[in-house]
Structure formats: structure tokens, C-alpha cells
Structure 1
Amino acid sequence: MTNEVISDCKTDGSCNAALNDRGNSVLSNEAVDAVFGFIRGCADAYARRLLPRGWQAYKTLHDNSQFGIWVHVGELAIMTYDNVDRTLVQCADEDAFQAELQTLAEFFGYAPLDFSEINPLASATV
């Protein structure tokens, strides 16, 4: 699965998002860190920071300290950490979000059943 994006971050910290082939906004690396307000760390460090904010892990056979995917249903967003590369996909609407989830499922396999029980009205923010 590729998003094929280039992040355009300026010295003032503002970043322009690229669009992936499904038309969703994609930020990478420093732009992702700016959104979340923290910098780097392994996948486990991101998990410790994201899970309390309403994110849920998208479990794959590849999960380890250098790889992880997290989904925030209420924010229609998907965060991926892969060997220090960070990607944040922000979807404009539910259909776009479902398209991203379908792409994840096609590439990594469907998420476990507990993933389907996420509260889509979660109030935590990105």
C-alpha cells in the first residue's frame, strides 16, 4: 500500500498536504509530528501517545516496534508508522474513510472483529 506523497513543510511549521490516489489528504513525517505535537520514537511510542487520544490499533501480521497502523473513526483519520516514516491520512467524509479502510484490508487483511466496535462518535481529537 502506498500513498506516494511528498510533504511540503515550511520553516514556520505549516505544511501542505498532498492527495493520495483516493483523493484523501496525506501528511508525512515532520508534518505528522506537527499535527500530533510530538516528534519521533518507535511505533510503540506512537501507540502510547495515540491510544489515549481515541485512536485504535489496526492489527496486522507486521506489527512490531518498527511498524504500526492506528485508526481514529471519529476523526476519519489513519496513522501509519513504518521504520521511522510517519503518514497521516485525513479523509473528507465517511465514504473516503471507508475507501481507505478497504485499501488497508486489501493490503494487510481485514482488521479483527473488535475493530468494528469502535465508537464512531469518539470525541478525542487528532
Structure 2
Amino acid sequence: MNPWVYGVILVLCAVAAVLLLVHLVRDAPAEDGIYLVLGSAEVALLVQLVWGSVALADTSREVSGTLFVSYLVGVLLALPIGAFWSLAERNRAGTAVLLLAVLTVAALEVRLDAIWSGAGA
């Protein structure tokens, strides 16, 4: 796995989480700027899916391929699901759901890194 892509994804998740917390405290729905950050994170996740699949094919590590690829696909789906839910609920609950989606992506990224490192299969 590429550490740069991993870092970019975590930074984008942190930025989105801070913005969403501010909106949650202000009792405001998520704005377009937040969706731009999430779109950027989604592009980075797509790059990670391709890069991770290629790296998995080229590695001689003891990595469970099925587990690793399922995490790559699962993390790719978390943000769109949260975004659609947030757009359907244009209130504080929708913002909270989007925040949970962002935190889920961050947690899955940490787990992906652990799987790639061989710390848990």
C-alpha cells in the first residue's frame, strides 16, 4: 500500500470531520464544500483500490487477499452511502450520519494498513 495515498485519505477525513463537527455544533446541514472534500477523498480511495490491488498482485507478503480487497471495496462504499443519506436528511441527523461515514473511513484505513503490514489477517 502506498503511504502517501494513505496519508492523503486520513488528512481529508480529518478535514471533513472538523468541518462536519462545526456544522453539527451550529445545527446546520452539510454544505457543498464538505462534499467537495468528500469527493476528493473518494477519488483518493479509488486510487487506493487500484494501487492496492496491483500491489497485492505483486507482493510476496503474507496478506489475505480476500480480506484486503474486501476492505478496499468496503471503504470505497462508505462515503457515497453516507453522502446519499445526508442528502436525503438535510438536517442535523444527516450531518451526523456523514460524520459517522467519515470516521468509518478513517477506522477502515487504519485497519487496512494493519492488514497490509501483516498485523492482522
TM-score w.r.t. length of structure 2: 0.25
Determine which structure has more spread, i.e. the larger CA radius of gyration: 2
Larger RCO (alpha carbons 8 Å, 6+ apart): 2
Of Structure 1 and Structure 2, the greater strand share is in: 1
TM-score w.r.t. length of structure 1: 0.24
Of Structure 1 and Structure 2, the greater helix share is in: 2
